[in-house]
Structure 1
Amino acid sequence: MSSRKGLRRGDDGTPAAAPVDNITQSQSCEDMPPAWFLSEMEKGFSRIHDMVEDRLSNINKVVEKIHNEHSAINEKLADLSAKQSEYEATAVDLPEHDRPRALVIRLLRSSDTEKILAAARQLKKLEYGNSTIMVFRDVSTALYKRRKAFTDLKKLLQRCDIKYSLLYPATLRIDLSGGRRSFTSPKSAETYLRQHHPEYF
């Protein structure tokens, strides 16, 4: 009987329903998460925010680095383009040098070599611009070294304004006041010049 004492009854004798406001307030309190949960959620969101900010900062640094490298590449390309234009203008306005340098051409068939040599003999003199082109057979490594050994002596003759020719395969012909002399080695040429023309040294 005591447990039923506090119940309100309606006109028909049935228990009356509890007030709506009390039920809503009770349900709202039950639906609210506890304070510790909200605190942990806030800490989690804060950590996520810091992580995102850190990642964005790193991405910005990478983007800035790429931008700087791209700018540097553009500057180098512009510099190379300017130098190329300068070289092209120089190549058009000036000859490469007084004496043509040696070029080695490798042909697939030996018959082509013979045709080129025969054509060069027929022309006798082959010129390009102000330079004379001379055509020889293949130059082996040993022969190349023999011809290159005359380099210092040729520089001396150029300084002294002495006419000379390096004939194939490796013979230096010098036009001297006493006549024309030919030498097959730089040592023999230097020995002769020191004995008969010491004024060149």
Structure 2
Amino acid sequence: MILPLLIGIGTGLSLIVAIGAQNAFVLRQGIRREHVLPVVLICGLTDAVLELLGVAGIGLIVERAPLVLEIVRWGGVAFLLWYAWTAARRAMRPGALLAAEGSGGSLRRTVLACLAITYLNPHVYLDTMVLMGSIGNAQGDPARWWFVLGGALASIAWFFLLGYGARALTRFFATPRSWRILDGVVAATMLVIAARLAVGGVTA
């Protein structure tokens, strides 16, 4: 069942290898070398579990629950706006960047932020449970389970690569100016995604 496995890997990568709130968060944690393992595990394993649930049929429930998605949508907009503000504030206060880099964020705060970015984005449910679920189920038995395995492996591998590969950029981010640029990009990314959620709504 190599073909459905490869299809799962390709489909999974096509959905997650893009600039987004979650990837920006993982990248920043990787560059700071701060709580990288729990962050990449949360992101990768969440995708894997949601894809499994989608192939198991739970995606149909999500697709037919617009009220739930609307609640998640506006919760996501609020959180992304808050995160954009905190990133912009860091970018506007370069003197605080080195202090923040040295002190580090708590594990609890990092995990809560990662969970919020992951679960308050309705598109994560549409991409994993609905889209991956529907494509996976179209493979038939037992190929659909190989498909979801491929998708899960793609997600886990990507987040580990992004989180730990970001360490290669540490030297570049040794100055406050570089952190200002990164936090400026993060703030802009969060604002764009929040605006798209607020204006465009949630569509499969």
Flag whether TM exceeds 0.5 (same fold). Answer: no
More strand by share: 1
Give TM-score scaled by structure 1 length. Answer: 0.24
Q: Which has the greater radius of gyration?
A: 1
More helix by share: 2
Q: Relative contact order (C-alpha < 8 Å, sep 6+): which is higher?
A: 2
